[in-house]
């Protein structure tokens, strides 16, 4: 029998045999963020479409080609239907939530993190899916370069904690609206001389936002862009000083970096600092983390003027990088005890003991399939149970059973009475110590 339909193109199923990899990354991300004072935020999977057009930019590929948008049914009062979009990224939704819920009126800086699913209609390939997942961090309130250094340090600390060594940090400054206006003029002049060679999308960008051409995926446009003016030559005094301070702070913190004047990031809300962490371990889709500063976004979305910055990491790419680099994940939890039973009375006793141990935090299984002893023991072996107990009439009458170590075959007596929890706990702890010493 086959399913009536397969999963949608560009999505993936994460099965129990693989989910421990995701849990490893998610736990490390949350713990690292909290060490830096970031608190978790959760916000809707979809937002009003206007939010992304306003923040991400209507000249970007995300808005023009990749968003999943729907129009709700027209209400009975005849008003225009609401337009909703599945979030293509996290920064806009987090900023909207921070403004709407008064978070930015509280003590500054405000620091939040999130783990979310995002959606973009792209050509599926390794490291690039239509539904993908991100760990993101956002910091609101500080305009100082020390905040940029802290956010970059958070990303670097997480990558280090995950054991990723072959990852390089690249930074750039794309200036503020003041100095970027002069840069746009220089770009227009440069690209206009070769406009006949640009792709149709970049021809449109040439008039509206020429910096987007630098981020084009077309090999021809990329080749033309190699000779384009460099933003660092157009920075105003304030933006230049900010960038120099950031470089000094990163040097002081021992965080290695390279300046790449071609980094612009793909979204319109960025200002000043932009950065990427790139690996060579997963081929062409090597960017595992990208971020920067977006000092105008909060005001653009209706809040009071407030500087902000952040980053996002693609969890799929992080996991791919860890796999390719041979990094070990925290293994899935093993079953501590499997209680096999023969007969109705033994099955009832097994249910009681299982319930008691689970309440104490142990991972315990018992038969619910009505199997015989041999199939039960085979199952215990398949799930990797550390210990097993077999209960029958003799064990119930004696009030004790044999606790078997499934790896060594060693067996010891264990009481089925009041001391059961303590005796089992002591045996499990002893086994854990042996494993660590081994």
> For 18, which DSSP code?
T
Would you call 81 helix, strand, or coil by DSSP? coil
277: helix, coil or strand? strand
In a structure prediction context, what are the per-residue pLDDT tens digits for the chain, which is 438 residues long? 577 889 999 999 999 999 999 999 999 999 999 999 999 999 999 999 889 887 776 556 666 668 888 877 666 555 665 789 999 999 999 999 999 999 999 999 999 999 999 999 878 777 788 999 999 999 999 999 999 999 999 999 999 999 998 999 999 999 998 988 898 899 899 999 888 889 988 888 888 888 888 878 788 998 998 889 999 999 999 999 999 999 999 999 999 999 999 888 766 678 999 999 999 877 666 899 999 999 999 999 999 999 999 999 999 999 999 999 999 999 999 999 999 999 999 999 999 999 999 999 999 999 999 999 999 999 999 999 999 999 999 999 999 999 999 999 999 999 999 999 999 999 998 887 776 665
Domains in the chain and their CATH numbers?
Answer: 19-176+236-324 (3.30.930.10), 337-425 (3.40.50.800)
- Where is 133: in which H helix or E strand? strand 131-140
d(CA 295, CA 174): 12
Distance CA 248, CA 146 (A): 10
| 429 φ/ψ angles, rounded to the nearest 5 degrees | -65, -45
| DSSP assignments along 147-164, one per residue | HHHHHHHHHHHHHHHTT-
Partners of 246 in the beta sheet?
none
CA 295 from chain center: how many Å? Answer: 23
């Amino acid at each position: 029998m086959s399913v009536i339909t397969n999963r949608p193109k560009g999505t993936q199923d994460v099965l129990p045999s693989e989910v421990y990899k995701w849990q490893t990354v998610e736990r490390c991300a949350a713990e690292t963020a909290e060490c830096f004072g970031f608190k978790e935020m959760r916000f809707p999977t979809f937002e009003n479409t206007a939010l992304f057009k306003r923040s991400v930019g209507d000249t970007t590929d995300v808005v023009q080609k990749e968003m999943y948008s729907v129009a709700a049914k027209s209400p009975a009062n005849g008003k225009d239907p609401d337009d909703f979009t599945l979030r293509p990224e996290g920064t806009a939704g987090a900023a909207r939530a921070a403004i709407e819920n008064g978070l930015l009126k509280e003590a500054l800086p405000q620091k939040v993190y999130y783990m979310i699913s995002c959606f973009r209609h792209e050509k599926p390939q390794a490291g690039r899916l239509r539904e993908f997942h991100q760990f993101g961090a956002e910091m609101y309130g500080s305009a100082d370069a020390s905040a940029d250094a802290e956010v970059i340090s958070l990303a670097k600390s997480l990558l280090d904690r995950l054991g990723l060594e072959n990852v390089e940090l690249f930074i750039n400054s794309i200036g503020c609206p003041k100095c970027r206006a002069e840069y746009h003029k220089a770009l227009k002049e440069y690209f206009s001389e070769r406009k006949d060679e640009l792709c149709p999308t970049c021809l449109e960008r040439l008039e509206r936002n020429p910096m987007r051409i630098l981020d084009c995926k077309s090999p021809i446009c990329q080749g033309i862009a190699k000779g384009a003016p460099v933003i660092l030559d157009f920075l105003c005094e304030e933006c230049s000083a900010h960038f120099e301070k950031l470089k000094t702070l990163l040097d002081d913190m021992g965080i290695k970096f390279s300046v790449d004047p071609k980094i612009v990031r793909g979204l319109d809300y960025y200002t000043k600092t932009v950065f990427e962490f790139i690996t060579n371990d997963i081929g062409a889709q090597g960017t595992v983390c990208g971020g920067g500063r977006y000092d105008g976004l909060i005001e653009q979305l209706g809040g009071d003027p407030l500087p902000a910055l952040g980053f996002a990491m693609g969890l799929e790419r992080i996991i791919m990088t860890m796999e390719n680099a041979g990094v070990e994940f925290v293994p899935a939890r093993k079953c501590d005890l499997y209680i096999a039973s023969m007969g109705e009375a033994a099955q009832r006793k097994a249910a009681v003991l299982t319930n008691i141990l689970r309440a104490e935090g142990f991972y315990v299984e018992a038969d619910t399939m009505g199997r015989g002893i041999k199939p039960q023991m085979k199952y215990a072996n398949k799930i990797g149970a550390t210990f097993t107990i077999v209960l029958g009439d003799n064990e119930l009458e004696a009030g004790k059973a044999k606790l078997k170590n499934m790896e060594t075959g060693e067996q010891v007596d264990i009481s089925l009475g009041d001391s059961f929890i303590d005796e089992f706990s002591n045996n499990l702890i002893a086994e854990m110590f042996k494993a660590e010493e081994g």
